[in-house]
Chains A and B, each alone.
Chain A
Amino acid sequence: MTLKTPSDVAFARQAAARAMGAIGASAIKTTKFVTAVSEIARNAVIYGRGGVISFTQTGPSGRQSVIAVCTDRGPGIEDISAAIADGYSTGKSLGLGLGGAKRLVDRFEITSSSRQGTKVTLECGPR
Chain B
Amino acid sequence: MPNEVTISSIIINDYERVLTEWLKVQSAEGVKRTDLVSGKESEQQSRDLLSAMAKAMPKEATDDNLDLAEPGWEPVRDALETIAENRTQRGVSTTEMGWFIGALKQPLFKILQGEIGEKPRILMREIWNVTRLIDQISLHAIETLVSKREAIIERQRAEMTEVAAPVVKIWDSIVTVPLIGTLDSFRAQTVMENLLDAIVQWEAEVAIIDITGVSTVDTMVAQHLLKTAAAVRLMGAECVICGISPKIAQTVVNLGVELPNIVTRVDLESGLAYAFERVGVIAGRG
Contact = CB atoms under 8 A, between A and B. Distances in A.
Interface string B193-215: 00000000000000000000001
Interface in B160-212: 182, 184-185
Given A35-B255, A38-B218, A104-B255, A94 B223 contact: yes
Given A6-B185, A103-B255, A104-B255, A93 B219 contact: yes
Contacts of B246: 28
Instruction: Report which residue of A31, A32, A97, A99 has the largest number of chain B beta carbons within 10 angstroms of its beta carbon.
Output: A31
B246 to A, nearest CB: 7
Interface residues of B, number: 20
Given A96-B257, A100-B255, A100-B257, A28 B250 contact: yes
B250 A32 contact: yes
A32 B254 contact: yes
Nearest to A100: B255
Interface in B239-286: 246-248, 250-251, 254-257
A38 B214 CA distance: 13
A81 to B, nearest CB: 16
B251 A96 contact: no
B216 interface: yes
Interface string A23-46: 000011001101100110010000
A contact patch SS: helix
A73 interface: no
B66 interface: no
B219 A39 contact: yes
B222 interface: yes
A34 B219 contact: no
Nearest to B222: A94
Contact of A97 (B184, B185, B218): B218
Nearest to B153: A7
Nearest to A42: B220
Instruction: Report which residue of A28, A34, A38, A100 has the largest number of chain B beta carbons within 10 angstroms of its beta carbon.
Output: A100
A105 to B, nearest CB: 10
A10 B184 CA distance: 9
Interface in B7-33: none
A106 interface: no
B218 A42 contact: yes
A108 to B, nearest CB: 12
Instruction: Report which residue of A10, A28, A86, A96 has the largest number of chain B beta carbons within 10 angstroms of its beta carbon.
Output: A96
Nearest to B218: A38
A122 B185 CA distance: 25
A99 B220 CA distance: 14
Interface string B27-46: 00000000000000000000
A31 B257 contact: no
B261 to A, nearest CB: 16
B219 A31 contact: no
B228 to A, nearest CB: 14
B217 interface: yes
30 contacts: A13-B216, A28-B246, A31-B247, A31-B248, A31-B250, A31-B251, A32-B247, A32-B254, A34-B216, A35-B217, A35-B218, A35-B255, A38-B218, A38-B220, A39-B255, A42-B218, A93-B223, A94-B222, A94-B223, A94-B257, A96-B255, A96-B256, A97-B218, A100-B219, A100-B254, A100-B255, A100-B257, A103-B254, A103-B255, A104-B254
Give the 9 A-B residue pairs with the shortest CB-CB distance, closest first: A100-B255, A31-B247, A38-B218, A28-B247, A103-B254, A96-B256, A96-B219, A97-B219, A94-B219
Interface of B: 182, 184-185, 215-220, 222-223, 246-248, 250-251, 254-257
Given A28-B246, A35-B216, A35-B218, 9 more contacts: A28-B247, A28-B250, A31-B251, A32-B250, A35-B255, A94-B219, A94-B222, A96-B255, A104-B251
